[in-house]
Amino acid sequence: MTDAFVDARRRPPLVRRQKVALVLAGGLLVVLVAVLVLLVYPWARWTEDFFPGTAPDEVLEPSAWTVTEDSITFTVLGDNGSGGRNAMDVARQMARTYQDRPYGLTVLLGDISYYGSIVDRYEDVFVEPLGPLIDAGVEFELAIGNHEIQENPSPEALEEVGAKLARLGLTDTYYKATHGPVDFFMLDSSLPLAGLAGGEEQLAWLERELAASDADWQVVALHHQLYSSAEKRDPDPRVREALEPLFIEHGVDIVFYGHDHFYERTKPQSGVTYVLSGAGSKLSDVGFSDFTAVAEKRLQFMLVTVDGDTMTVQAIDHHGEVFDEFTIGQR
């Protein structure tokens, strides 16, 4: 028997070598997948659009709420426009809250449609999550957000704004709406930010309307934040510089806004309480500032009850937990 023949017998057959290679490759693939999961999952689990959601299916009694001259209950929802799992979970809890404490109004703080036109995505980002409330006859008021209009808007962007307003039965980007004992001042905070034509007109309008308001309560809603402890970006100072003096001068009771994706309530600033409620579908990191009373990184909306000379505000997460509650009196 030749040495060459012996060496040939000792070498593993080709099939055996292929099997070994496949096993090694499979093991390497498993390791790579595990590493990717460890790296991506902490990010992906909070990336709202990474997971599709199931639309709420609660059936609500229509017009079950009561609004009087001195009482009203309403909700506040910010940055809800993605149509994914988190948005559906928050909307579902809003429907369940309605079952216990009916309300006839939801104040939207902007960014009601991410990643596409409201004309194309109206059903999946608005009708599907908020369908039970729409069917129950709940009204909606909208404060324009940066995903409705950018700082340098194109004709197409302005057309998009008009489409969103039309879908909600609205005609203006800023306006006053009266519900029961509350005057709601719905602002377009993109105007003072961008120096757009109409920015000064809005400020003049706001000063006139605040001065003329004889409602028991004055509530302001806008998208961009005046106070925020966001860890990755600061509020644009132009918003506060333009608006806060008017709020103080005319005794605004409370100001709601979104833009940052968490919850934060300020201590009263010159008598005005500011509430950041931008976690209707997304989450971002929040710190704690000298002006902060409460700050939480959790999905949420707000339930507000006005009864005579008292306003009670509850921050409710997507599980139904009330994690902040406070009361203010008329100024």
Residue 50 counted as domain residue: no
For the ranges 53-57, 180-184, 216-220, 247-251, the lowest mean pLDDT is seen at 53-57
CA atoms within 13 A of residue 295's CA, in its CB half-sphere: 19
Residue 284 counted as domain residue: yes
Q: Same domain, yes or no, for 31 and 142?
A: no
Residue 266 counted as domain residue: yes
Residue 110 counted as domain residue: yes
The per-residue DSSP string of 185-250 comes to EE--THHHHHT-TTHHHHHHHHHHHHHH--SSEEEEE-SS-SS--BSS-PPPHHHHHHHHHHHHHT
For the ranges 104-108, 163-167, 220-224, 252-256, the lowest mean pLDDT is seen at 163-167
Q: Same domain, yes or no, for 160 and 210?
A: yes
- Which CATH number does the domain housing residue 60 bear? 3.60.21.10
Q: Residue 274 and residue 287: Cα distance in Å, rounded?
A: 16
Average pLDDT, integer, range 81-90: 90
Q: Which candidate, 161, 129, 135, 123, places its Cα nearest to that of 299?
A: 129
Boundaries of domain holding 35: 3-44
Q: Same domain, yes or no, for 301 and 167?
A: yes
Residue 114 counted as domain residue: yes
Q: Same domain, yes or no, for 168 and 301?
A: yes
Q: Same domain, yes or no, for 154 and 173?
A: yes
Q: Same domain, yes or no, for 19 and 134?
A: no
Q: Would you call 127 helix, strand, or coil by DSSP?
A: helix
Q: Would you call 57 helix, strand, or coil by DSSP?
A: coil
Helix axes 237-249, 199-212, angle to 10 degrees: 20
Render pLDDT for 191-234 as a digit per residue (tens, 0 to 9).
655 454 557 888 999 999 999 999 999 999 999 999 999 987 77
Q: Same domain, yes or no, for 117 and 233?
A: yes
Q: Same domain, yes or no, for 163 and 301?
A: yes
Q: Would you call 39 helix, strand, or coil by DSSP?
A: helix
Exposed, middle or buried by CB within 10 Å (0-12, 13-18, 19+), for 323?
middle
Q: Would you call 176 helix, strand, or coil by DSSP?
A: strand
Specify the higher pLDDT residue, 154 or 243: 243
Q: What is the pLDDT of residue 3?
A: 54
Q: Same domain, yes or no, for 304 and 325?
A: yes
Q: Specify whether the CB–CB gap between 329 and 309 falls below 8 A.
A: yes
Residue 49 counted as domain residue: no
Q: Same domain, yes or no, for 87 and 20?
A: no
Overall pTM surpassing 0.85 (yes/no)? no
Q: Residue 119 and residue 122: Cα distance in Å, rounded?
A: 6
Tokens of 119: 């004309």
Instruction: Tell the residue number behind the tokens 């519900």, with chain if given.
Output: 179
Alpha-helix residue ranges (DSSP H) falling in the chain: 3-10, 14-44, 85-100, 118-122, 128-135, 155-167, 190-194, 199-212, 237-249
Q: What is the pLDDT of residue 42?
A: 47
Q: Residue 222 and residue 246: Cα distance in Å, rounded?
A: 14
Q: Same domain, yes or no, for 77 and 149?
A: yes
Instruction: Tell the residue number behind the tokens 């921050």, with chain if given.
Output: 315
All residues at 6 or more sequence positions from 314 whose CB lies less than 8 Å from its CB, including other chains: 302, 303, 304, 322, 324, 325
Residue 281 counted as domain residue: yes
Render pLDDT for 109-144 as a digit per residue (tens, 0 to 9).
988 777 666 556 778 888 899 999 999 999 999 888
Q: What is the pLDDT of residue 290?
A: 96
Q: What is the tally of structural domains in the chain?
A: 2
Tokens of 96: 């369940």
Q: Residue 17 and residue 153: Cα distance in Å, rounded?
A: 63
Q: Which candidate, 86, 85, 107, 88, places its Cα nearest to that of 96?
A: 88
Q: Residue 61 and residue 135: Cα distance in Å, rounded?
A: 9
Residue 267 counted as domain residue: yes
- The rounded mean pLDDT for the chain is 84
Helix (H) or strand (E) holding 303: strand 300-307
Exposed, middle or buried by CB within 10 Å (0-12, 13-18, 19+), for 124?
buried
Q: Same domain, yes or no, for 101 and 250?
A: yes
